[in-house]
Amino acid sequence: MATETLGKSEGDPRVRRARVSELEVVRHHFDRAWDSLGLQEDARQIFWEPYREISVQIPIKLADGEMHVFHGFRIQHNGARGPYKGGMRFHPEVDIDEVRALASMMTWKTAVAGVPFGGAKGGVNVDTRGLKEHELEGIARALMDKISKLVGPNRDIPAPDIGTNAQTMAWLMDEFGKLNGHTPAVVTGKPISLEGSYGREAATGRGCVVMFEEAARKLDMDPEETTFMVQGFGNVGSWIARTMQGLGAKLIAVSDQDGAIHSEAGIDADDLIEHVHLQGGKLTDFAAAEEIDAGDFYELPCDVFFPAALGGMVHEDNASVFNFRLMVEGANNPTTFAADQILADKGVYVVPDLIANAGGVVVSYFEWVQNLQHFRWEEDAVNDMLQGVMRRTFGEVSSRAEKDGKSLREAAFEIGVSRVVEASRTRGYFS
């Protein structure tokens, strides 16, 4: 993993990404779950290594007149429980090890949430900032052209991730359709006008807030008296902020790649979304909050912290200065195992990414079902079903954690791994 920083304080170790790779972090949690479950040693690698790895070249002539060659990946980790499922990420730090880690996480995440998918992930190592729309379209279409024989509604179903959105999914769907006919179920997270699902855009953020509500009950926290901070203000972070504000909680600080802002009086999430996402302004130029040092952001006292940026942003150089009671992981793999232990020693209650950010794939499942059946649920119905799945998942994981005296992360991994192993054994993949 590269050591990219979040914000302007490049020399501050608090704001860098972890030195340990996401793949190492996931392997640590997988091995711990495997050992705890007492599963047979000779089958371990079957469930750790991906079933298929796809690496492709994407040559595109950009507006500068030069030919640029980007590299794309699609990792299909495990399909014992259903078609492969996972996002498609456009980011300059995408590499095959990161995609392997994220694909593995999707295998366990779909299993814990109880949706009938396997795990996959994809990405292109491209910096989308500064690219024109037709250039992004060219990259997306070229990617689908290269992987189209290995994806499909019953094979592998991509979705949005960092650097991609509903428009990207529309291009992928259309390119797939050129050879296969109209096939909306080939991707999820599509625009509503192209058979996307109501509630999908907000699903990951909303799901995180449902997990906050469940944890808050255990910690006797009143949402209306809760202060919170968000790291990352893309799709997930902004929906977390808006939804938490709807519960009466107060947003006091936000950070992203441009820096960090703070206001003890509270930051209006809707105004900040208007400024950043609709007007295209920089987070640090938001007039109703004070810009602060990106490293100092981590030391602010609050009740709840939502990491919703890149992986590896919570590590040993910042976990020790955190000053909150509850962390709900909106990002994938935000926390290293060293930081996990530091937070446990500090008594911080952590709702791990494996369950906290599962709302996106849950509503992707709803979208896939709607596409296959050619009907559509209203948004209220989607949100109600999402809440039901998230609350059930939290209940199952927290019950196991309390029964066995383990963290939510340990319990979630054990549930996910055991369900995938059981499906594989039942299908006859191993004995």
**With pLDDT > 90 as the criterion, what percentage of the chain qualifies?**
91
Can you tell me the distance from the alpha carbon of 342 to that of 48, in angstroms, rounded to the nearest whole number? 27
Distances (CA, A) of 401 to 344, 387, 395, 405, 410: 14, 21, 10, 6, 7
* Secondary structure of residue 291 in the 3-state scheme: strand
Long-range Cβ contacts of 171-180 (<8 Å, 24+ apart): 171/137, 171/140, 171/141, 171/144, 172/88, 172/140, 172/141, 172/143, 172/144, 174/141, 175/140, 175/141, 175/144, 175/145, 175/148, 176/144, 176/148, 176/151, 176/152, 179/148, 180/148, 180/152
pLDDT computed for residue 6 by the predictor: 52
Lowest mean pLDDT among 17-26, 338-347, 409-418: 17-26
Positive or negative torsion for Cα 163, 169, 174, 178: positive
The whole-number average pLDDT for the span 210-223 is: 98
* Contacts (Cβ under 8 Å, ≥6 apart) of 426: none
> Which amino acid, residue 10?
E
Structural domains in the chain plus CATH codes:
49-186 (3.40.50.10860), 203-356 (3.40.50.720)
Strand partners, 311: none
The tens digit of pLDDT for each residue in 276-326 reads: 999 999 999 999 999 999 999 999 999 999 999 988 899 999 999 999 999
Nearest to 80 by CA among 109, 111, 121: 111
Can you tell me the distance from the alpha carbon of 379 to that of 201, in angstroms, rounded to the nearest whole number? 11
pLDDT computed for residue 1 by the predictor: 41
The tens digit of pLDDT for each residue in 13-45 reads: 777 777 789 999 999 999 999 999 999 999 999
Q: Which H helix or E strand runs over 338?
A: helix 337-346
Q: Provide the Cα torsion 371, 420, 54, 170; round to 10°.
A: 20
User: Would you say residue 360 has pLDDT above 50?
Assistant: yes
Per-residue exposure over 279-290, b if at least 16 CB sit within 10 Å of its own CB, e if not: eeeebbebeebe
pLDDT computed for residue 430 by the predictor: 82
Can you tell me the distance from the alpha carbon of 260 to that of 7, in angstroms, rounded to the nearest whole number? 7
Active-site residue numbers? 121
pLDDT computed for residue 2 by the predictor: 40
The whole-number average pLDDT for the span 117-135 is: 95
Indicate the average pLDDT of the chain: 95
| Phi and psi torsions of 329, nearest 5° | -85, 105
The whole-number average pLDDT for the span 366-382 is: 98
Can you tell me the distance from the alpha carbon of 291 to that of 9, in angstroms, rounded to the nearest whole number? 13
Nearest to 36 by CA among 424, 416, 429, 423: 416
Q: Which H helix or E strand runs over 294?
A: none
363 neighbors 386 (Cβ within 8 angstroms):
yes
pLDDT computed for residue 255 by the predictor: 96
Residue with tokens 């942003």, as numbered in its chain: 313
DSSP single-letter state for residue 321: G
Per-residue exposure over 256-275, b if at least 16 CB sit within 10 Å of its own CB, e if not: bbbbbbbbeeebbbeebbeb
pLDDT computed for residue 130 by the predictor: 86
Can you tell me the distance from the alpha carbon of 235 to that of 168, in angstroms, rounded to the nearest whole number? 14
Would you say the pTM of this structure is higher than 0.85? yes
- Residue 12's pLDDT band (boundaries 50, 70, 90)? confident
Alpha-helical regions (H) of 5-95? 22-37, 44-48
Can you tell me the distance from the alpha carbon of 306 to that of 331, in angstroms, rounded to the nearest whole number? 8
Count CB atoms within 10 A of the CB of residue 112: 25
The whole-number average pLDDT for the span 112-124 is: 98
Helix, strand, coil percentages (3-state) for the chain, rounded to 5, are: 50, 20, 35
Residue with tokens 């999908």, as numbered in its chain: 200
> Which amino acid, residue 328?
V
Strand partners, 291: 261
Strand partners, 72: 56, 124
Token digits of residue 328:
């709900």
Alpha-helical regions (H) of 38-162? 44-48, 96-113, 133-147
Q: Which H helix or E strand runs over 371?
A: helix 359-373
